Amino acid sequence: MAEIGPALELFRFILSTLGQIQLARNFQDDFEACQLKLDILQLRLSRWKEVVDLTSDKDLDKPKANDGKPSPRGIKEVLDEIEHCLNRYKRNSKHDKDGLTKENQEALEPESNLPSDIKSIRRRLMQCIRKRQSQASTAIQGLKWVFYKKEVFDQFIGSMTELLDELEKIAPGDDHEQLYKLSQEECGDITKMNLLTLKESIEGCDPWLSESVDKKLQGGQAGTQNIYQSNNRGFTVGNHNGDNKGFTVGEGNTLTNHF
C-alpha cells in the first residue's frame, strides 16, 4: 500500500489492522491463547499512544533520548517498520492458504468459539481499546487476513513484540511510569481466576500488563507466616503469597497463618 504519511494516521492504520486479523481452524486447540495474544498487541499499542503525542510529525523521525542515550530509531521509523511487517505477513498468508481444505481455510469466530471466561477477559480489554479509539477524529481502514500456520503466527507475535518494545523504549522515564499505571487500570475489573488465565496467555507479550497482573494477584493473597522449628528455636515472620504447598515443618512443629 502507499505511504500513509502522518504518524497518527499510521498508528490508527496499525491498530485497525491488529483488530481485524483472524485465525484459521488449524488454531482450534490453541485458539484461546492465540486470540488473547492478538488482543494484547492491540491493547499494548493503544496504551503506548496514551503517553505519546502523535498530533504533529515534527521530530518524530528523530531518535529521542532514553536514560541519557539516544534511541537508534525514531517513532516514525518504528511505525513504518510495523506497517511493513503487517503487509509482509498478509502477503505470506495467501501462500499458506494454498493446499488447505475448504474447512481449514475458514476463520474461527471468537464469539462462537471461545469459552465464557475468555470472553469476559476480552470484553474488558476491548473496552479499554475502544475507549482509546473513540478519541480519534477519523477512522482508518486497516488490512485484514487470516493466519493458517501456528509457527508463522508465533513468528509474527515475536516480531510485533520486539517492535512494540522498541516503541516503548523511545519514551522517556515518566512515560514508562504512566504505561504501568494504565496497565493497572486495564486489569482492575478482571476477577482473580481470569487474571490467572490472562497471566498464562500474555507471558513475554506485554511486560507492563504482566507486572500489573502479578501485583494484583499478590495483593489479594498476601498473609503472614510464623514457622516454629524445633532445631533452631525461634520463628520466622514474613509475607507469603499463594497456597502452602510442597514443604513440611517436621513432626511436632507448628505453622501459623495470620490473615
Instruction: Residue 62: give its domain's CATH number.
Output: 1.20.120.1020
Query: 34 CB contacts (<8 Å, ≥6 apart)?
Result: 23, 27, 150, 153
pLDDT of res. 171 = 75
| Whether residues 74 and 35 fall in one domain | yes
For the chain, give the mean pLDDT.
81
| Whether residues 179 and 159 fall in one domain | yes
| Whether residues 73 and 123 fall in one domain | yes
Residue 1 lies in a domain: no
> By percentage, how much of the chain surpasses pLDDT 90?
59
| Whether residues 107 and 200 fall in one domain | yes
Residue 98 lies in a domain: yes
Give the residue numbers spanning the domain of 233. 223-258
pLDDT of res. 221 = 53
pLDDT of res. 47 = 96
pLDDT of res. 157 = 97
Residue 105 lies in a domain: yes
Q: For residue 129, is pLDDT > 50?
A: yes
* Cell 507486572 found at: 211
pLDDT of res. 137 = 54
Question: Where would I find the H helices in 134-172?
Answer: 150-170
Residue 104 lies in a domain: yes
Residue 90 lies in a domain: yes
Residue 95 lies in a domain: yes
| Whether residues 244 and 193 fall in one domain | no
| Whether residues 248 and 137 fall in one domain | no
DSSP-based three-state secondary structure for 231: coil
| Whether residues 91 and 71 fall in one domain | yes
Residue 2 lies in a domain: no
Euclidean distance between CA atoms 176 and 193, whole angstroms: 28
pLDDT of res. 220 = 59
Q: For residue 231, is pLDDT > 80?
A: no
| Prediction pTM value | 0.77
Q: For residue 56, is pLDDT > 90?
A: no
pLDDT digits (tens, 9 = 90+) for 137-153: 566 788 999 999 999 99
Q: For residue 186, is pLDDT > 90?
A: yes
Q: Which three cell numbers stand for residue 64?
A: 529521542
* Cell 511436632 found at: 252
pLDDT of res. 4 = 43
Q: For residue 3, is pLDDT > 80?
A: no
Confidence of residue 26 (pLDDT cuts 50, 70, 90): very high
| Whether residues 215 and 227 fall in one domain | no
| Whether residues 67 and 141 fall in one domain | yes
Q: For residue 121, is pLDDT > 70?
A: yes
| Whether residues 172 and 73 fall in one domain | yes
Q: Is the dihedral of CA 207, 58, 8, 82 positive or negative?
A: negative
Tell me how many domains the chain contains.
2
Confidence of residue 36 (pLDDT cuts 50, 70, 90): very high
| Whether residues 16 and 71 fall in one domain | yes
Confidence of residue 234 (pLDDT cuts 50, 70, 90): very low
pLDDT of res. 230 = 37
pLDDT of res. 38 = 97
| Whether residues 233 and 214 fall in one domain | no
